[in-house]
Structure 1
């Protein structure tokens, strides 16, 4: 049985936890270390095909479970309470669809079976509230922590929820990083498998400081095939390398446009740029997304594509990217901060 997300045989990934053979049935237990709800049907079909000759008339029962583990973060940092993994989504350059990709990636991870949150780290230009259809200020029941806003099943936090839509954030770098630290650490995230952070574009002091202070499990780079966008995407990738944050891969956005009237396909921003960059830096191209008006309209309307059209081809692309990214993360070292017993000694 082949795992397309890791491009390996399942037996090499040690996910087969048990096999029970009885007179009339064969039970195979599989524990996936990443969310892959949309792949289970294909996995079962592959298992039946692979074991057909060995079943000898017995029926096959496939028990598939998934468990997301917390993974290592940068040296000197500790994972956050209530959050197993933080994934940064970066671009290096604005206008490549990073925020739209981050939101749909979060929704896709959730659709695959994970508990997911989104943090809008773009203090100067927050867009997550509109994309997720969020309104009203978040509550603080205890006066110390903020309850994240929820919609489409996601937990979310953004500076845009705390200030007016027309209020400019005329802050210097240290104020921005302090504000983000507060949004991150003072939000009462509720048992998340993944927190997706939508980073601001660029690779300057703010981005570098955030990458050094936020306990990141991994990062993901969004780019278009255009050479100019790729120049900045390379800088973003190198920034993560310098701060020892693994890059899960590259998402190529606006890769092709298909005319809705005549069906003509055209590579408006060039072709193959994401694949060439992936080969150059030895990271996978997680997937390519088309330039489609529905993606823009749905994000603007507060119901991103994965939520608005769960059965569409576009959603299938986002979910495949989410599974590949989560699978890549599952191969990294696990954090010892979770799952260890806490010993308390008291005098009685």
Structure 2
């Protein structure tokens, strides 16, 4: 399959078509007829009465303050073609997928990201998965409306996380719209009460070598888990859409050995190994990062003060962690707001 670098030309008609699909996602009154893996074709599933709605809005933790100029910030490396089709939130994820990739999109919802990746020719194959039937039916409706041969290599699969995969099917995984801890569980398994990770394959065991992740919270936890499992964070981008701030990270698998979270300073682990660098080169991204740091600072101050005033026994390690995070974020914010930075 020949890949074309000029995605704008290939997406010109698709922009109009997918925009129509996004605005017309409506109810479905019949059974789901798509085939699902492992013979799990659902029986008659009544889905009637679902209201028509616009594109789903993910409620992020980091909202820009009232009165802030809400001009969307695309962020570095954004492909304008994807931004015009998907908006900044999903557009940056599509932009960070390598050409010629085979992709699993976990929690696909309406399927807009997989459709854009296939229509642009950027992905050779996409598996759109979700653990719930309704989102997959939304994606199926999107496919039916577009009805294009370019989407023949787009599969819909019902299942939880990586359970829909066989080894070697994809080289890239995308996850968005859930917290960093949930993403870690999807990629590396859930941690039990004793701190032991459940026995199941890690994402690299499926042959995946690149992940594009957009967590809604617990970002520093996700950074640490990636490093501990042999992944290198190669980039992070901050952008905004409709008054909400999004942080998207790209990681690539390097080794089965711990990459050593201790090799990254506490400041960079908390704020991001690449966000400060990008903010120094972009006034718009600097403003977003500053607002995000302010939000994080309020969060950790509230946690610290709550533990200090608690009449119950306090986990001393958690209190010390909150105090250290307040100190680090205050220092970073002070540098960013210094007179030489404006």
- For normalisation by structure 1, the TM-score amounts to 0.31
Higher relative CO (CA 8 A, sep ≥ 6), structure 1 or 2?
Answer: 1
- For normalisation by structure 2, the TM-score amounts to 0.31
